[in-house]
Amino acid sequence: MTLLMDPALRSIEHKVDEGIPLSSEDGIALFRTPDVHSLGRMARAAKVRKSGRKVFYVLNRYINSTNVCYAGCKFCSFAADEFKESERVVRMSADQVMAKALETGTNFNQIHIVGGHDPRQLSLDYWLPLMRRFKERLPHVQLSLFTAAEIDYMARRHRLGYPEILAELKSSGLDNINGGGAEIFAAEIRKQICPNKVTAEQWLAVHEEAHRQGIASNATMLYGTIESYEHRIDHLIRLRDSQARSPGFNAFIPLAFHPDGNELNDCGWTSGLDDIRMFAVARLMLNNFDHIKAYWMIQGIKVCQVALEFGADDMDGTHGSTDEERIYHSAGTQSGQYVDDREFRRLIEEVGFEPVRRNSTYEEFAHDWAPPVHPEDLKVQDVVDLNAVRA
Ligand code: SF4
């Protein structure tokens, strides 16, 4: 055993080495330890046991297809009231979503779309035909669509249970459910920050049913509002238990709260140290999750590069177009909209890891992989095909 400065970490390191799940008390000790270097070293070792030297990124298209929402979450700066803030409303037609996805070519492996609880857009009539269009036009692209909160909303609109709506979505091409909407599972916190959203039990039920049907998913946690360390650890343990019941989560993504333009602005920004601890604690608590993602657009690219030394093994990836992410940009993120894949590879290599291009389900691709040319690519005059440029 390595000599550790904080004695509280010794028994935890022993458990981690033996593959024993950490307890709630262990998790709190990890958040409170002054020995951040040992925490990072333990989390990095756990990452290396999971994914070796690999750190993943994805060539992605990111779209927020609507910001109309009636849920009224207190931490949200993205949602627009369609009657009082009509100038802020973004509600894309299916053709606009398709055009946005193709705006910078077809060489990408995932399309990631989330939006608000918009009664005009969040319906099967809108999504099923669009999903089939994606699969016909871009058969190499995995559809990473919706959050469990959106699926719950859509199920209630259509008077369908989770098994039925998920079967409909899967039959039209849904590959992966995004991890948002989890926020913090504790009911007393949800009541204060997102009273009109799915409960923790509903969120978990959507994901567990999706996994049973062969749809993959990710999980998130919003941290930095009014929750305590105990609430964060409770959240992680509920995710770990859910993964044991119905495996299918690929990555866990800690989402740092951003305070600009929302009702919880007095919570302020998370600190770099809190962000780094969050990655390390997640890696150590979630021993049955393969991947911990450091999403550059949320904690910032520099913190996310450091997070690779604290247990993270994924940096998410490119967005494609230059203006599409609205959720965090409405809340004051300092990250830009665009980082290219060469930059991800450089940042990962600088830390001593091997960059690996992936899709939503972590199938691996050569960094210069390109899809076959689709007949319609030849007809679209104004699309710059990155494949053609590279060739
Ligand atoms: S966080 Fe999502 S569900 Fe909540 S108000 Fe914002 S868009 Fe709506």
pLDDT tens-digit readout, 215-257: 999 999 999 999 999 999 999 999 999 999 999 999 999 999 9
Cα 72 to ligand 1 centroid, rounded to whole Å: 6
Cα 319 to ligand 1 centroid, rounded to whole Å: 21
Cα 370 to ligand 1 centroid, rounded to whole Å: 35
Q: pLDDT confidence of 334, banded at 50, 70, 90?
A: low
- HEC letters along the chain: CCCCCCCHHHHHHHHHHHCCCCCHHHHHHHHHCCCHHHHHHHHHHHHHHHHCCEEEEECEEEEECECECCCCCCCCCCCECCCCCHHHCCECCHHHHHHHHHCCCCCCCEEEEECCCCCCCCCHHHHHHHHHHHHHHCCCCEEEECCHHHHHHHHHHCCCCHHHHHHHHHHCCEEEECCCCCCCCCHHHHHHHCCCCCCHHHHHHHHHHHHHCCCEEEEEEEECCCCCHHHHHHHHHHHHHHHHHCCCEEEEEEEECCCCCCCCHHHCCCCHHHHHHHHHHHHHHCCCCCEEECCHHHHCHHHHHHHHHHCCCEEEECCCCCCCCCHHHHCCCCCCCCCCHHHHHHHHHHCCCEEEEECCCCCEECCCCCCCCCHHHHCCCCCCCHHHHHC
| Atom of ligand 1 minimally distant from the CA of 116 | 7
**Nearest residue (CA) to ligand 1, atom 1:** 76
pLDDT at 185 over 90: yes
**Nearest residue (CA) to ligand 1, atom 2:** 116
**Nearest residue (CA) to ligand 1, atom 7:** 116
What pLDDT is attached to residue 375? Answer: 74
238 within ligand 1 shell (Cβ under 6 A): no
Domain range annotation of the chain? 8-44, 53-360
CATH architecture label of 53-360: Alpha-Beta Barrel (3.20)
Cα 255 to ligand 1 centroid, rounded to whole Å: 14
Q: For the segment 292-330, what is each residue's pLDDT rounded down to a tens digit?
A: 999 999 999 999 999 999 999 999 988 876 566 666 667
Q: For the segment 337-372, what is each residue's pLDDT rounded down to a tens digit?
A: 678 899 999 999 999 999 999 999 999 999 999 998
Cα 280 to ligand 1 centroid, rounded to whole Å: 28
